Amino acid sequence: MQALTLRQRSLVGLTLFAMFFGAGNLIFPPWLGVQAGTESLSAFIGFLITAVGFPILGVMAVAESGGLKNLGARVHPVFAFIFMFLIYLSIGPCLAIPRTASTSFEMVVRPLLAEKGLLEAPLLGWTALGFSQLAYSALFFLAAFLVALNPEKLTSRLGKFLCPTLITLICVLWLGAFVNPIGEAGAPAAAYAGAALAHGFIDGYQTMDTLAALNFGLIIAMNIRAMGIKSEGAVVKETVFAGCIAAAVFFVVYGALTQIGAEAGGAFTGMENGAQTLTAVADKLFGTAGQVLLGLVFFIACFNTCVGLIACCSDYFSGLFPKLGYRGWAVVFAVVSMVISNAGLTLILKFSIPVLVAIYPLAIVLIALGLINLAWKNLHLHRWVYPLSMLFTGVVSVTAGLEAFGLNVPFLSNLCADLPWSNIDLGWISPAIGGAAAGLFLSWKIPHACDPRT
């Protein structure tokens, strides 16, 4: 068999959507709507570019190149190793995996404790809040570990059951707002009033999906092969189909959540994030049942993403350090993530933003170069364009990441501040273009045998 049926393609596409769609994907679109208000459409377009466009293109670029290692090696083998290592730590036990448990706990369990006034109640030497979070994270990661043990079966487990349930629950929430409108979109916040599209573009970073895309491609390819597709060309083709289906679902779901947020921004005050926005909307539309609905949405979304991340991280590290094997690394990631998740969502998010600012532009440029190389193979981008584009981009993005940590970099901080679009955190774009132009010039002028990667 060299092609999947329409039903199989749909299941693979839904699996990809389920792996991507976690806590951040739920809370950032409605908060975007609240902040952008009447400028929500422009902000939504920018958000789609980094939260949907680049992740799906990333899956395709990785599938075409045969893996992130091969794609990164076009810059330099050392870069490929370091970049992959940082990405897997970011989407793995350091940030993204713990965030799935801490966010779902905040939305599923904490409201119940708060309602009964038990947050600070003593329980077995702990507060009820601390004990409940530990117990919840232990059960959450145990269940995710068990499902992730067979990554080739994720299509049947996520795409067939959990993902359709998640989409149905989100549709119920949107239909409630459609039948009973919450209010009119409010005025945009100051930052969005003048540059809504650019701020939406930056907001898309926080979903972390472009980073995850560089790794999910291999898991999706594994599931496609398990369905009987053996030819590498056919696997890439089916991965592209899966990406298109996932992109269509994302467009609909993100659009619904952004609209809900825009209406909520004009109806409620005092909201500080997307989770509070959805809580207020669910409570107004459905009362107590709305909180149950929202809790289920967050749990399923976070669980799906957690399973996908454990699977792809375990697959990578078992290849890098095979002594533990896939199962052993899955245990390590589940346990370490459980421990870090108990530090709390606020602390995890505090460290995530500087890391994302530093490595996200590199991921975007790498994906763009991979797709350009796919279209024009005769450009020989590998020799100079990849190294120089990534070098120039990295200088700016890493400097911005250090500044987000509160560290000023002598000379570079002032230099980066003078770059075009630096006022909207897109100062890396012009160095990336300049590096590509310089690379093309050198590839043309310097003999073919001269390769900066050697």
Among 151, 153, 116, 118, smallest CA distance to 133 is for 118
In the structure, what pLDDT confidence band is assigned to residue 159 with cuts at 50, 70 and 90?
low
* Segment 224-282, tens digit of pLDDT: 887 777 777 787 788 888 888 888 888 888 998 999 988 888 877 777 778 778 888 88
- In angstroms, the CA 273 to CA 206 distance is 13
Among 12, 13, 22, smallest CA distance to 300 is for 22
Question: For tokens 């810059």, what's the residue?
Answer: 75
Q: Which residue has the higher pLDDT, 453 or 89?
A: 89
CA-to-CA dists, residue 107 to 101, 226, 301, 318, 354, angstroms: 10, 35, 12, 33, 25
Contact 97, 337 (CB under 8 A): yes
- In angstroms, the CA 451 to CA 381 distance is 11
- In angstroms, the CA 384 to CA 387 distance is 6
Q: What angle do CA 312, 313, 319 make, to 5 degrees?
A: 95
Instruction: Show the tokens assigned to 438.
Output: 């310089």
Q: Please report which residue ranges of 187-287 form alpha helices under DSSP H.
A: 190-203, 209-226, 232-267, 274-286
Q: What is the SS3 assignment for 321?
A: coil
Counting Cα atoms < 13 Å in the Cβ hemisphere of 369 gives 32
Delimit the domains of the chain by residue range.
6-342, 346-453
Amino acid present at 19? M
In the structure, what pLDDT confidence band is assigned to residue 451 with cuts at 50, 70 and 90?
low
Residue 162 has pLDDT above 90, yes or no: no
Residue 331 has pLDDT above 90, yes or no: yes
Amino acid present at 29? P
CA-to-CA dists, residue 191 to 128, 194, 196, 274, 423, angstroms: 40, 6, 7, 17, 11
Range with lowest mean pLDDT among 65-69, 319-323, 410-414: 65-69
CATH node for 6-342:
1.10.4160.10
CA-to-CA dists, residue 170 to 219, 293, 334, angstroms: 26, 9, 28
In the structure, what pLDDT confidence band is assigned to residue 344 with cuts at 50, 70 and 90?
low
- In angstroms, the CA 258 to CA 391 distance is 36
- In angstroms, the CA 212 to CA 274 distance is 21
Q: Characterise 297 by phi-psi region: left (phi > 0), alpha (psi -120 to 50), beta (else).
A: alpha
Q: What are phi and psi of 160, to 5 degrees?
A: -85, -35
Residue 335 has what pLDDT? 92
Residue 145 has what pLDDT? 92
Which helix (H) or strand (E) is 29 found in, with range?
helix 23-36
Burial 61-87 (b: 16+ CB within 10 A, else e): bbbbbebbbebbbbbbeebbeebbebb
**pTM score, whole prediction:** 0.75
Question: For tokens 């994907």, what's the residue?
Answer: 25
Counting Cα atoms < 13 Å in the Cβ hemisphere of 234 gives 15
Residue 124 has what pLDDT? 61
Q: Please report which residue ranges of 274-378 form alpha helices under DSSP H.
A: 274-286, 288-320, 325-341, 345-375
Residues 369-377: what's their mean pLDDT?
71
- In angstroms, the CA 396 to CA 298 distance is 35
Q: What is the SS3 assignment for 336?
A: helix
